[in-house]
Chain A
């Protein structure tokens, strides 16, 4: 949607400021109004009223927002801050004002179909010995991060599901980036192209269910695809939903005790964007020996771990701080293991976790360990 289509949404804001303190991770670090929802919405109003113009300084500010939606969770008037932000970013992209890093990511996606810019032939390396089919009832939409950066998560997922009796198929190199980053960053046309392509390939595969381990891919497939392209002919499931079903059906055998006191980080995309809070916790509670303790900011109040590409490149200091803050919250509980269920969060949290000697798990890896199946 364009900004002018969101005029009513912009004027809904009463400037109460409830989206500020202890809410916005960016505002907590940078002390200005324009860094959080109230200022973002007021800026949008300034643009609509032609009191402000787009500029690169404005772009740098507007690209700080992580779209973590914590502000929306606490907004008494349900102002669609993320929608307004997306609309402004679309305008910024159109005006050629988006920060260079985003344009570079777009170029990577155009050429390699993944935001990391890694050659396409690398994409299926993780699966070479697994003999995965291209067509099937349950399709594993692997996502760029598991495919290129965290193959163990992808392999563990396949093995868990196989042991539970599901022989998953995948799209292999026909799978393109899901488009999350692109629609979040205002590259609507590129996001649309990626989505149309993926949808066509998924439909060709005959899948009835599409499962993903990435919270970003999940939100994108589950919510954005139908919104932007049309009704889906298949069901979209996050691995935590599927695993919970399989546990209830008695198809998952947690053989190994894992004697650990762990905490769980809710990914924004899985939690606030999609409402999946109980599923991962239920799975963890099924693992024998495991004790789950909560960080003070959990579930709807989860604290975003930071958006890697944006922050690390444009605002490196902030990019370092945000994951550190989240890992510190876990460390302050005295736990040695931090679980999440999104490879993007794993990517963000891994450096500070290593520094704090905290072991970081994407949930499928922990499940695999308890089931005695390997991610290798």
Chain B
């Protein structure tokens, strides 16, 4: 099989060197590493399709991988097999004059899409996840990443106009309007069932995304940033709810533990507005009223500081707290946030002493999506501390149980949380049936379901 793969992509694009396998054994999270059997770096969708045909024939696992920046073990080759590094698919196509939509091959990174569009006075609504300088379009769609700008534009799926997907048997499908070969990927709700949606969040279990078509918007020059401090979680959640209800913020995040020193109080809320100068003024005024009604105290400099260094700040913070982390995250209705957050805090209070002794830190926050709120809980510790790692794993499982019991629905599930989906009876059965029919040999990221 190895020589067949080499024939498809050229021997220089296949590797079985031990150090290379090692380099692909984990993602950015601290989940159990596993070695693949070989790495292949295709440069086109046709090569991806050919690789799948061979792997399907040999019934070999294929693990698609973008930047490998997931934190949930999503591209970890649980059952070995062929690691498909898709970063070589890196073309961006803007075909219509105005660039009302942009097609990005699976391996394109978010910052590049943003840069290319900016030159044409356009932007994608979402700015990609906070890993935008490395995360790929394909990988992000495949995990259903939550992106910067989710408060205004919602989940990544809302911005997708169509996908091109290579299936396990090597066939290539274009979804939505582009199912008609004579059309472009300009509209998702076409040609019957929404097959685009099948790939969003699928973690490469149903097919390999080779191209993503995204909506674009006029480029917005003006931005404004705000930060408020709150003395209760309920007030903070009410403030966030107000921003969602009145469709004000472009992006909005909450800090519960730790609350940055500069903000203080029980919870902090930061948000960012985007638009024309006059829009910003109007939205700014509205948002200030909402914050006042919820008894928020303005800490304006922090908002600017936080958002201006937007990508770097979080990564730095994560790195300094660990480096090494596990995260549980998922969505619930906004006003249910305080109750769930309090349970999480209670859980931690009981373990505070033990965690401190083991050098384990944690954080609890929130990210606003148009209609819901995302609760991320991260547990940090240096990966060198073995004893602490064992404990972190048990914390993670207990917390995950606690959160899922209270209704939290995970998004990037990875190998870390995929077992949870098995609990959702009929949903899981349907998922499995689709998987069995699309990938009867279970070659695509096996172990995930």
- Whose C-beta in chain B lies nearest to the C-beta of A19? B134
- List CB contacts (< 8 Å) of A67-86 with chain B: 74, 76-77
**A94 close to chain B: CB less than 8 A:** no
- Kindly state the separation between the CA atoms of A5 and B289 in the bound complex, as whole angstroms: 55
Cβ contacts A48-92/B at 8 Å (1 or 0 each)? 000110010110010000000000001011000000000000000
Known contacts A31-B13, A32-B85; A16/B41 CB under 8 A? no
Of the 9-residue stretches B24-32, B193-201, B213-221, B360-368, which lies at the interface with chain A? B24-32
Q: Separation in Å of the B428 CB from the closest CB of chain A?
A: 31
Bound: A272/B39 CA distance, A = 33
Residue in contact with A52 in the complex, picked from B22, B26, B111, B316, CB distance below 8 Å:
B22
**Contact: B19 with A43, CB < 8 Å?**
yes
List, in ascending order, chain A residues with CB within 8 A of B312's CB.
Answer: 76
Q: Determine the chain B residues whose CB is within 8 A of the CB of A39 once the complex forms.
A: 20, 23
Render B337-352 as a binary contact track against A, CB cut-off 8 A, 1 for contact.
0000000000000000
B190 to chain A, nearest CB (A): 33
A7-39 interface bits toward B, Cβ cutoff 8 Å, 1 = contact, 0 = none: 100011111111011100000001111100011
Q: Can you offer 23 A-B residue contacts whose CB atoms are under 8 A? A: A11-B323, A11-B324, A12-B323, A14-B28, A14-B319, A14-B324, A15-B28, A16-B131, A16-B133, A17-B68, A17-B133, A17-B135, A20-B87, A30-B12, A31-B41, A31-B43, A31-B85, A33-B85, A38-B23, A46-B22, A52-B18, A76-B311, A76-B312
Selected contact of B26 from candidates A7, A11, A15, A18, CB within 8 Å: A15
Please name 14 further chain A to chain B contacts, defined as beta carbons within 8 Å, in addition to the given A55-B19, A77-B323, sorted by A numbering. A14-B315, A16-B69, A16-B134, A18-B134, A20-B134, A21-B133, A33-B68, A34-B17, A52-B19, A55-B18, A57-B19, A61-B17, A61-B19, A76-B316
Contacts of A51 in B (CB 8 A): 22
Which of A13, A14, A34 is the one whose CB lies under 8 Å from B19? A34
> Which residues in B have their C-beta under 8 angstroms from that of A77?
315-316, 319-320, 323
With A15-B27, A17-B28 already in contact, the answer to whether A32 and B41 are too (CB < 8 A) is yes
A-B contact number at CB 8 A: 104
> In the complex, what distance in Å separates the CA atom of A13 from the CA atom of B68?
14
- Asked if A18 contacts B22 (CB within 8 A), the reply is no
Q: Which residues of B contact A93 (CB under 8 A)?
A: none
A43's partner among B22, B41, B131 (CB-CB below 8 A) is B22
B contacts, CB < 8 Å to A = 12-13, 15, 17-20, 22-24, 26-28, 39, 41, 43, 67-69, 85, 87-88, 109, 111-112, 131, 133-135, 311-312, 315-316, 318-320, 322-324, 382-384
* CB <8 Å contact, B39 and A76: no
Distance of A14 Cα from B112 Cα, bound (Å):
22
Say whether A351 faces chain B, with CB atoms less than 8 Å apart: no
**A21 lies within 8 A of B19 (CB):** no
The answer, yes or no, to whether A42 is at the interface (CB within 8 Å) is: yes
**Which of A12, A14, A18 meets B133, CB within 8 Å?**
A18
| Given known A15-B28, A17-B69, A76-B312, contact A34–B20 (CB-CB < 8 A) | yes
The verdict on A32 contacting B88 (CB below 8 Å), with A17-B28, A18-B315 known, is no
Measured between C-beta atoms, what is the minimum distance from A151 to chain B in Å? 40
CB distance from A52 to the nearest CB of B (A): 5
Residues in B whose Cβ lies below 8 Å from that of A74: 133
Residues of A within 8 A of B (CB): 7, 11-18, 20-22, 30-34, 38-39, 42-43, 46, 51-52, 55, 57-58, 61, 74, 76-77
Which residues in A have their C-beta under 8 angstroms from that of B135? 17
Whether A17 pairs with B131 at a CB distance below 8 angstroms is: yes
Across-interface contacts of A34 in B (CB, < 8 A): 17, 19-20, 23
Chain A residues positioned under 8 Å from B13 (CB to CB) = 31
Q: Is the CB of B319 within 8 A of A11?
A: no
Instruction: Tell me the dominant secondary structure on chain A's binding face.
Output: loop
Contacts of A55 in B (CB 8 A): 18-19
Closest to A57 in B: B17
Query: In the bound complex, how far is the Cα of B26 from the Cα of A14, in angstroms?
Result: 11
- Which listed residue (B18, B69, B133, B320) contacts A15, Cβ 8 A? B69
Cα distance, A14 to B321, chains bound together (Å): 11
With the chains together, A130 CA to B123 CA distance in Å?
Answer: 61
User: B23 touching A76 by the CB < 8 A rule?
Assistant: no
Which B residue sits closest to A21, measured CB to CB?
B109
A32 touches B39 (CB 8 A): yes
What B residues does A15 contact at CB under 8 A?
Answer: 26-28, 68-69
Q: Are A16 and B28 in contact (CB under 8 A)?
A: yes
Contacts of A12 in B (CB 8 A): 319, 323
Contacts of B109 in A (CB 8 A): 21
Given A15-B68, A46-B19, A52-B22: A76 and B319 interface contact (C-beta under 8 Å):
yes
Complex partner residue of A14 from B15, B41, B318, CB under 8 angstroms: B318
For the complex, what is the distance from the CA of A303 to the CA of B111, rounded to whole Å?
18
Query: Which residue of the partner chain A has the closest CB to B15?
Result: A32
With A13-B323, A31-B13, A31-B85 given, is the CB distance from A22 to B22 under 8 Å? no
Contact call B383/A11, Cβ cutoff below 8 A: yes
- Is the Cβ of B23 less than 8 Å from the Cβ of A11? no
In the complex, A55→B112 CA distance in Å? 36
Q: What residue in chain A is nearest B309 (Cβ atoms)?
A: A76
Complex Cα spacing A52 to B23, Å? 11
Query: How far is A34 from B312 in the complex, measured between Cα atoms in Å?
Result: 24
User: Smallest distance from the beta carbon of B107 to chain A beta carbons, Å?
Assistant: 9
A17 B134 Cβ-Cβ under 8 A: yes
CB distance from B50 to the nearest CB of A (A): 17
Give the chain A neighbours of B15 by CB distance below 8 A. 32
Q: Which residue of A lies closest to B20 (CB)?
A: A34
Could you say which of B67, B316, B322, B382 contacts A17, with CB atoms under 8 Å apart? B67
Residues of A within 8 A of B311 (CB): 76
In the assembled complex, how far is the CB of residue B142 from the closest CB belonging to chain A, in whole angstroms? 16
